[in-house]
């Protein structure tokens, strides 16, 4: 069977391929090969500048040729490396051999070819490559997708800041809020979660087979290899140097990063479920699109599928991200290979998160607020003013205010007339009584509108 978007085993490479395509060049095996070439090239160039016997600084022409291999890395280059791997059965060694093959006909580079992968273990190349992959995915794809959602929700919080809405604590009628304030709550949570994602430091090491510069120090005992490695990691690769490792960088930063994505995704699961419920209550309508079908049997249906898809894909993402975060920091003794196969699924985990962001963004674009439904719901819930009335009664030291309102309202249908009749019989100053009599459920929103507007600042 020919591999295509229809026959692909993973829906990320099939049905949803176009929605996660931005991650493909960054977190695929192609992306890993690309970063391996980058790391090998930068290590090689740095060695030439280190003053080592037998390796003079490279000419600008050679440096340009080497870095051009990175900037012009292509599908054909990746395929050539895979062909070499068929013989080596080792993916990092295949990159080394491919790079050396590019030196043919370049006398300066051929003479120094044994400094490619010099004193490196495969994990020196892999851990830096994985960090570079995550750096690019975070900066170029994931954070911009999150920012689009936050920007959309911030605009909605502003637009609906003063639109009153009945709250439902425990699913029951409760003190009113505004639509904008409820969305502002989500914005505040997302901003904090987004900041945590953005601030996770991406660590890397280049210190040899067990983290002690054994081979480096044997070949060139007079060189400060730790300082050298730090310069390559931080100045040439733009990562954060980790001085204490076994053969592998311990992946603690990856656990932090994946946990941070999980927390943000969990916030969006919570929000997706709430919006689904508000659509069910009629608070939001969904814009119609010609040709779309909501049900194969019920023609009237307009299903909230975008929010359902978002919830489902965030769940998949979080399951994978949680496994990555829990497994990757564990390695038997100085190294085992259980992390290697798991790390190949970074793109799958983040791909499902990205798919969730896409679904949620599309769902938000379809929403239309139904203020009539919101107003009707509020007008059927006069009992929510019981909180306001009993609190004013407490202020003026009336006897057993909570108990009076409990006996009057609990489990009984309340109307404007009943509530206002109760207020009229209270021994309150007339100004207080008039204020309570003028209040409606739609008015009883506290500082919700102000808080919602402030989220845009």
170 flagged as catalytic: yes
Q: Across-strand partners of 204?
A: 241
Give me the half-sphere count of Cα atoms (radius 13 Å) on the Cβ side of residue 38: 25
**How far apart, in whole angstroms, are the C-alpha atoms of residue 101 and residue 104?**
6
Distance CA 149, CA 153 (A): 6
The CA-atom distances, in angstroms, between 312 and each of 142, 243, 308, 345, 451 are: 18, 40, 6, 18, 31
Enter the DSSP assignment of 397.
T
Spatial distance between the Cα atoms of 157 and 364, rounded to a whole number of angstroms: 12
- Would you say 279 and 308 are in contact if contact means Cβ atoms under 8 Å apart? no
Identify the active-site residue in 170, 216, 331, 396.
Answer: 170
Q: Of 357, 144, 168, whose CA–CA distance to 281 is shortest?
A: 168
CA 27 to chain centroid, in Å, comes to 15
Q: Are 137 and 27 in contact (CB under 8 A)?
A: yes
- Distance, in Å, from the CA atom of 249 to the CA atom of 229, rounded to the nearest integer, reads 14
Q: Within 10 Å of residue 312's Cβ, how many Cβ atoms? A: 16
Annotation marks residue 396 as catalytic:
no
Measured in Å, how far apart are the chain's first and last C-alpha atoms? 55
| DSSP secondary structure code for residue 73 in this structure | -
- Report the DSSP pairing between strands 284-286 and 367-369: antiparallel
Q: Which residues pair with 368 in a beta bridge?
A: 285
Question: Of residues 295, 296, 331, 359, which has the active-site annotation?
Answer: 295
* Cα–Cα distance for residue pair 68/59, rounded to 1 Å: 14
Separation CA 450–CA 457 (nearest Å): 11
Give me 238's structure tokens: 């733009």
Residues forming the active site: 170, 295
């Amino acid at each position: 069977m020919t591999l295509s978007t229809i026959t692909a085993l993973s829906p990320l490479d099939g049905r949803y391929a176009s929605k996660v395509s931005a991650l493909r060049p960054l977190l695929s095996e192609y992306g890993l090969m690309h970063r391996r070439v980058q790391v090998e090239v930068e290590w090689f160039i740095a060695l030439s500048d280190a003053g080592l016997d037998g390796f003079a600084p490279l000419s600008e022409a050679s440096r340009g040729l080497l870095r051009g291999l990175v900037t012009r890395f292509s599908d054909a280059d990746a395929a050539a490396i895979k062909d070499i791997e068929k013989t080596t059965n080792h993916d990092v060694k295949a990159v080394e051999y491919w790079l050396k093959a590019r030196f043919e006909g370049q006398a300066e580079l051929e003479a120094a070819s044994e400094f490619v992968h010099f004193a490196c273990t495969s994990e020196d190349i892999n851990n830096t490559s994985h960090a570079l992959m995550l750096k690019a995915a975070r900066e170029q794809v994931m954070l911009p997708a999150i920012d689009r959602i936050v920007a959309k929700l911030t605009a909605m919080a502003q637009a609906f800041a003063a639109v009153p809405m009945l709250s439902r604590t425990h699913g029951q009628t409760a003190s009113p809020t505004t639509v904008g304030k409820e969305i502002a709550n989500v914005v505040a949570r997302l901003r904090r979660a987004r900041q945590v994602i953005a601030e996770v430091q991406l660590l890397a090491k280049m210190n040899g087979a067990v983290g002690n510069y054994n081979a480096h120090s044997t070949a060139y005992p007079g060189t400060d290899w730790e300082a050298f490695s730090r310069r390559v990691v931080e100045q040439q690769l733009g990562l954060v140097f980790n001085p204490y490792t076994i053969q592998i960088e311990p992946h603690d930063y990856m656990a932090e990063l994946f946990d941070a994505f999980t927390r943000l995704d969990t916030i969006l699961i919570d929000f997706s479920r709430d919006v689904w419920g508000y659509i069910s209550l009629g608070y939001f309508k969904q814009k119609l699109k010609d040709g779309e079908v909501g049900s194969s049997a019920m023609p009237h249906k307009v299903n909230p599928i975008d929010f359902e898809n978002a919830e489902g894909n965030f769940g998949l993402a979080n399951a994978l991200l949680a496994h990555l975060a829990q497994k990757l920091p564990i390695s038997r003794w100085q190294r085992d290979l259980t992390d290697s196969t798991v790390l190949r699924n970074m793109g799958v985990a983040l791909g499902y998160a990205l798919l969730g962001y896409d679904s949620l963004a599309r769902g938000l674009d379809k929403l239309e607020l139904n203020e009539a439904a919101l107003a009707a719901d509020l007008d059927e819930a006069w009992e929510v003013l019981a909180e306001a009335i009993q609190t004013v009664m407490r202020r003026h030291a009336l006897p057993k205010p909570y108990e009076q309102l409990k006996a009057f309202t609990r489990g009984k249908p309340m109307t404007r007339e009943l509530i206002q009749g109760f207020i009229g019989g209270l021994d309150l100053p007339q100004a207080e009584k008039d204020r309570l009599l003028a209040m409606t459920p739609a008015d009883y929103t506290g500082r919700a509108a102000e808080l919602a507007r402030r989220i845009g600042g």
